[in-house]
Structure 1
Amino acid sequence: MGSTEKTLMDQVRAVFRHTRQGSIRTRERYREAGQRLAKFLGAQFQLKNLRNLQDKHLEAYVRYMQANGRTPAHIKTELSAIRWIADQVGLKRPLEDARTFNLRMNIGRRSFRGHDRTWKAEELRIIDEAPDRIRSVLILARDLGLRIHEAHRIDVAHARQALVTNVLEVKGKGGLIRHVPLRGEAREVLGRALRHARPGEKLFVAPDVKTHEAIREVQDYIRHHRPSGSTVTAHGLRHGYARDRYLEFREAGLSDKEAKARVSELLGHHREEVTDIYLGSLR
Structure 2
Amino acid sequence: MTTWENAMGEQYWKKELAQIIDQHNERHAVRSKVIAYATRDARRQGLFRIFVLLQQLGFRTRPRNLSSRHIDALMAYWTAQPLPAGGQGTHRIAPQLAKPFSAAYIQQQLSFLRVYAQWIGKAGLVQGTAHYAKDPKLVARSYSATRDRSWEANGVDVDAMIARVSAIDRHVGTQLRLMMAFGLRRKEAVMFCPDAAEVPAYALPAGHRVGERYVSFLTIERGTKGGRLRYAAVRTPVQQYALDEARALVRSKHGHIGRPGLTLKQSLDLFSNVVRQVGLTRKQLGVTPHGLRHQFAGDLFFDIAQVKAPVQGGEPQVDADALKEAYRQVAEQLGHHRPQISNAYLGSPRGVSQQPLDQAHQEAP
Cα deviation digits, residues 66-117 of structure 1 (max 9, x gap): 23443434322221123334545x37xx375333564243555443333544
Cα deviation digits, residues 101-152 of structure 1 (max 9, x gap): 6424355544333354444335967653363333333332222111233224
**1:76 equivalent in alignment to 2:89:** no
RMSD: 4.2
Query: Which residue number in structure 2 is paired with residue 170 of structure 1?
Result: 220
**1:240 equivalent in alignment to 2:278:** no
| 3-state SS in 2 of match to 1:239 | helix
Question: Which among 295, 299, 306 is matched to residue 251 of structure 1?
Answer: 306
Query: Which residue number in structure 1 is paired with residue 195 of structure 2?
Result: 160
Query: Which residue number in structure 1 is paired with residue 30 of structure 2?
Result: none
State the one-letter code of the partner of 1:203: I
- Gap change, CA 1:104 and 1:175, over 3 Å in 2: same
- Assess if the C-alpha contact under 8 Å between 2:67 and 2:125 holds in 1: no
- Assess if the C-alpha contact under 8 Å between 2:220 and 2:232 holds in 1: yes
- Gap change, CA 1:57 and 1:219, over 3 Å in 2: farther
- Give 1:18 deviation, angstroms: 8.4
State the one-letter code of the partner of 1:99: Q
- Assess if the C-alpha contact under 8 Å between 1:59 and 1:105 holds in 2: no
State the one-letter code of the partner of 1:271: R
- Gap change, CA 1:111 and 1:228, over 3 Å in 2: closer
- Give 1:276 deviation, angstroms: 1.4
| 3-state SS in 1 of match to 2:177 | helix
Query: Which residue number in structure 2 is paired with residue 54 of structure 1?
Result: 67
Query: Which residue number in structure 1 is paired with residue 155 of structure 2?
Result: 121
Cα deviation digits, residues 198-241 of structure 1 (max 9, x gap): 345433264551x3453355456656741537785544432222
**1:37 equivalent in alignment to 2:50:** yes
Cα deviation digits, residues 153-209 of structure 1 (max 9, x gap): 423xxx1213686632012444432222344452244123313xx345433264551
Segment of structure 1 superposing worse, 4-13 or 165-174? 4-13
Cα deviation digits, residues 43-64 of structure 1 (max 9, x gap): 3336585334333333233233
Query: Which residue number in structure 2 is paired with residue 99 of structure 1?
Result: 127
Question: Which among 310, 331, 335 is matched to residue 268 of structure 1?
Answer: 335
Structure-1 separation of matches of 2:288 and 2:41:
15
Q: Which has the higher contact order (CA 8 A, sep 6+)?
A: 1
- Give 1:37 deviation, angstroms: 2.3
Query: Which residue number in structure 1 is paired with residue 84 of structure 2?
Result: none
TM-score (norm. length: structure 1)? 0.71
- Give 1:247 deviation, angstroms: 2.3
Query: How many residues end up aligned between the 2 structures?
Result: 273
Question: Which among 218, 223, 233 is matched to residue 181 of structure 1?
Answer: 233
Structure-2 separation of matches of 1:8 and 1:218:
38
- Give 1:279 deviation, angstroms: 1.2
Pair member with larger Rg: 2
Structure-2 separation of matches of 1:61 and 1:46:
11
- Assess if the C-alpha contact under 8 Å between 2:297 and 2:334 holds in 1: yes
- Assess if the C-alpha contact under 8 Å between 1:169 and 1:180 holds in 2: yes
Segment of structure 1 superposing worse, 11-20 or 185-194? 11-20
- Give 1:266 deviation, angstroms: 1.4
- Gap change, CA 1:19 and 1:99, over 3 Å in 2: closer
- Assess if the C-alpha contact under 8 Å between 1:263 and 1:275 holds in 2: yes
Query: Which residue number in structure 2 is paired with residue 192 of structure 1?
Result: 248
State the one-letter code of the partner of 1:54: S
Query: Which structure 1 segments of 5+ residues have no match?
Result: none
| 3-state SS in 2 of match to 1:62 | helix
- Gap change, CA 1:7 and 1:177, over 3 Å in 2: same
Structure-1 separation of matches of 2:326 and 2:285:
30
Q: Which structure shows the higher helix fraction? A: 1
| 3-state SS in 1 of match to 2:257 | coil
